């Protein structure tokens, strides 16, 4: 049974709401990047599957290098406005300009222009998302409160996805073509981004993280390399990104062509996301009793059981497809919010080992593995579709459709089994994290007393002085 939350670690409801709000425009960008934009540029703009797979895959690989850079920079940022909020605010003009470039292209736009626009988008996206994730990890030190924080953000993500799904339907009903539908998503981002970020940064104060001693680069990398809990999370998030990328990229093709649902495919996706929102609170409650990693295991087992049933849904049977995706939707939000809550605990472990509050770099690693998985999935999925001769608007043979459906189901099922097996052995549970927080709190009290007595400036110390000041903690590898 979970312990009572300390008052200083309890996150008030208004802060949860304000922190979650940027999730709306973030999701309004993230879903189209995975589901709508690749198909739009391949089919409607006319670049083709192979070219678009290359563009989006390579752009995400570049984004992989931006994430750790942003993590390090935000960890080292010291301003009167904090470490995270300043970068979220600075990302807004970049995101607005990028939304215009990416969501409102001219027909016949060039390959080079699309590459430049997507890369520009990912620069602002990295500034916003890494700072937002790290900020959430630092809002509370409590094991279960972190699930509430990440769950609130995930709920906003799903609501943002639902809004993005509804917009094209509304525009289409008014006679708008595909270009107008995609543009409406861009306008949603342009309008909501500054409002959501503004409310968040002006409502919530960042926790005061005191400057830490300079950590030698060798020891910084050693602590990350030897952190076994981190390896568990990154491996599962990497393969989870591959699975999620394939599912997101192929969903429209799977539902419209594979299941024969036509325009009902968007309704099926809407139902799937609605169930994800509704079942976030029960899943948070479940994680309080089972623990975060055990809940992830259960979620993965359920996915592995349900996913193969997609292959047995009769073509055109919307009701059976709906029942199956209601069950899958109940489970959809578990991985995203629990992996992020767990990463905050892993960052605390690193803090104990190194004496450094490095949530930014840890969340950037989480984003990095997920994007690596997604980029690999986008490239692989689109190249495979091109190889097997699949076309969304033309005629496909039965064998081609069957191969596309297997590509949708089999990798995601295998990944779910692997995640369940790996996370069953995850070494950082509630009891161990409670001990980590106790150590950090004791160090904080002792550090404040020593600083007041000696006036020691750890930030300006040499490597040797820093290690001595930290009692050798930076040299101790994580277990």
- What is the per-residue pLDDT across 353-371, written as a single tens digit (0 to 9) for each? 877 777 777 878 877 787 7
pLDDT of residue 45 exceeding 80: yes
Neighbouring residues of 105: CB distance < 8 A, sequence distance ≥ 6: 41, 45, 113, 114, 117, 179
Cβ contact 440:141 at 8 Å: yes
Taking CA atoms, 427 is separated from 68, 233, 296, 394, 430, in Å, by: 24, 11, 14, 50, 10
Q: How many CA atoms lie within 13 A of 91 on its CB side?
A: 29
Asked if residue 255 is part of any domain, the answer here is yes
Query: Is the pTM of the predicted complex or chain greater than 0.75?
Result: no
Looking at residue 96, the DSSP 8-state letter turns out to be H
Asked if residue 449 is part of any domain, the answer here is no
Work out the pLDDT band at 445, boundaries 50, 70, 90. low
Work out the pLDDT band at 463, boundaries 50, 70, 90. very low
Asked if residue 428 is part of any domain, the answer here is yes
Q: With CA atoms as reference, report the closest residue to 55 among 106, 110, 134.
A: 110
Residue 407, domain CATH: 1.20.1250.20
Work out the pLDDT band at 209, boundaries 50, 70, 90. low
pLDDT at residue 220, as a whole number: 55
Q: Which of 350-354, 426-430, 446-450 has the lowest mean pLDDT?
A: 446-450
pLDDT of residue 452 exceeding 50: no
pLDDT at residue 337, as a whole number: 81
Q: Which of 203-212, 246-255, 348-357 has the lowest mean pLDDT?
A: 203-212
More confident residue, 53 or 63: 53
Residues 286-295 have a mean pLDDT of 90
Q: Give the whole-angstrom CA distance, residue 413 versus residue 51.
A: 28
Work out the pLDDT band at 211, boundaries 50, 70, 90. low
Asked if residue 390 is part of any domain, the answer here is yes
Cβ contact 35:250 at 8 Å: no
pLDDT at residue 478, as a whole number: 39
More confident residue, 308 or 350: 308
Q: Which of 98-107, 376-385, 439-448 has the lowest mean pLDDT?
A: 439-448
pLDDT of residue 464 exceeding 50: no
Residues 30-53 have a mean pLDDT of 81
Asked if residue 216 is part of any domain, the answer here is no
Mean of per-residue pLDDT scores for the chain:
82
Asked if residue 459 is part of any domain, the answer here is no
pLDDT at residue 354, as a whole number: 77
The residue segments making up the domain with residue 295 are 15-208+226-437
pLDDT of residue 326 exceeding 90: yes
Q: Which single residue is written with the structure tokens 């990104």?
A: 241
Work out the pLDDT band at 6, boundaries 50, 70, 90. low
pLDDT of residue 313 exceeding 60: yes
Q: Give the whole-angstrom CA distance, residue 229 versus residue 75.
A: 21
Q: Give the whole-angstrom CA distance, residue 325 versus residue 227.
A: 37
Asked if residue 367 is part of any domain, the answer here is yes
Taking CA atoms, 225 is separated from 218, 268, 373, 476, in Å, by: 11, 42, 20, 12
More confident residue, 212 or 59: 59
Q: What is the per-residue burial (b if ≥16 Cβ within 10 Å, else e) of 371-385?
A: bbbbbbbbbbbbebb
Cβ contact 95:87 at 8 Å: no
Distance of CA 41 to the CA centre of its chain: 23
Work out the pLDDT band at 19, boundaries 50, 70, 90. very high
Q: How many domains does the chain have?
A: 1
| Angle between helix 23-31 and 145-173 (nearest 10) | 60
Asked if residue 364 is part of any domain, the answer here is yes
pLDDT of residue 465 exceeding 70: no
């Amino acid at each position: 049974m979970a312990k009572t939350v300390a008052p200083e670690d309890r996150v008030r409801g208004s802060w949860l709401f304000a922190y979650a709000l940027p999730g709306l425009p973030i999701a309004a960008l993230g879903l189209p990047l995975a589901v709508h934009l690749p198909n739009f540029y391949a089919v409607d703009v006319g670049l083709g599957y192979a070219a678009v797979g290359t563009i989006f895959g390579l752009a995400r690989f570049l984004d992989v290098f931006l994430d750790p850079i942003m993590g390090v920079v935000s960890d080292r940022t010291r301003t009167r406005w904090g470490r995270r909020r300043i970068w979220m605010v600075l990302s807004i003009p970049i995101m607005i300009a990028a939304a215009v470039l990416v969501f409102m292209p001219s027909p016949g736009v060039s390959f080079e222009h699309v590459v430049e626009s997507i890369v520009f988008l990912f620069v602002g996206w990295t500034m916003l998302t890494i700072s937002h994730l790290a900020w959430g990890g630092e809002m509370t030190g409590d094991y279960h409160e972190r699930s509430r924080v990440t769950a609130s953000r995930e709920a906003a993500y799903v609501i943002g996805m639902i809004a993005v799904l509804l917009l094209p339907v509304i525009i289409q009903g008014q006679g708008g073509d595909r270009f107008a539908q995609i543009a409406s998503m861009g306008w949603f981002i342009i309008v909501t981004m500054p409002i959501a970020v503004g409310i968040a940064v002006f409502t919530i104060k960042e926790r005061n993280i005191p400057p830490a001693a300079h950590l030698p680069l060798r020891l910084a990398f050693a602590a990350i390399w030897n952190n076994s809990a981190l390896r568990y999370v990154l491996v599962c998030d990497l393969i989870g990104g591959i699975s999620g990328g394939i599912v997101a990229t192929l969903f429209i093709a799977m539902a419209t062509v594979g299941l024969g649902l036509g325009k009902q495919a968007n309704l099926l996706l809407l139902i799937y996301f609605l169930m994800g929102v509704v079942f976030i609170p029960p899943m948070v409650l479940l994680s309080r009793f089972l623990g975060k990693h055990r809940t992830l295991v259960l979620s993965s087992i359920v996915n592995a059981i349900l996913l193969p049933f997609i292959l047995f849904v009769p073509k055109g049977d919307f009701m059976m497809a709906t029942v199956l995706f209601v069950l899958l939707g109940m489970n959809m939000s578990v991985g995203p919010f629990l992996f992020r809550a767990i990463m905050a605990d892993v960052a605390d472990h690193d803090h104990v080992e190194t004496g450094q509050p490095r949530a930014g770099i840890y969340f950037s690693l989480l984003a990095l593995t997920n994007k690596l998985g997604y980029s690999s999935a986008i490239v692989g999925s689109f190249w495979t579709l091109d190889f097997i001769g699949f076309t969304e608007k033309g005629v496909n043979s039965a064998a081609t459709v069957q191969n596309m459906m297997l590509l949708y189901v089999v990798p995601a099922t295998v990944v779910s089994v692997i995640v369940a097996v790996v996370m069953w052995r995850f070494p950082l549970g509630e009891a161990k994290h409670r001990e980590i927080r106790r150590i950090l709190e004791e160090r904080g009290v002792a550090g404040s007393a020593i600083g007041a007595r000696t006036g020691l400036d750890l930030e300006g110390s040499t490597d040797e002085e820093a290690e001595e000041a930290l009692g050798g903690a930076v040299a101790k590898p994580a277990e």
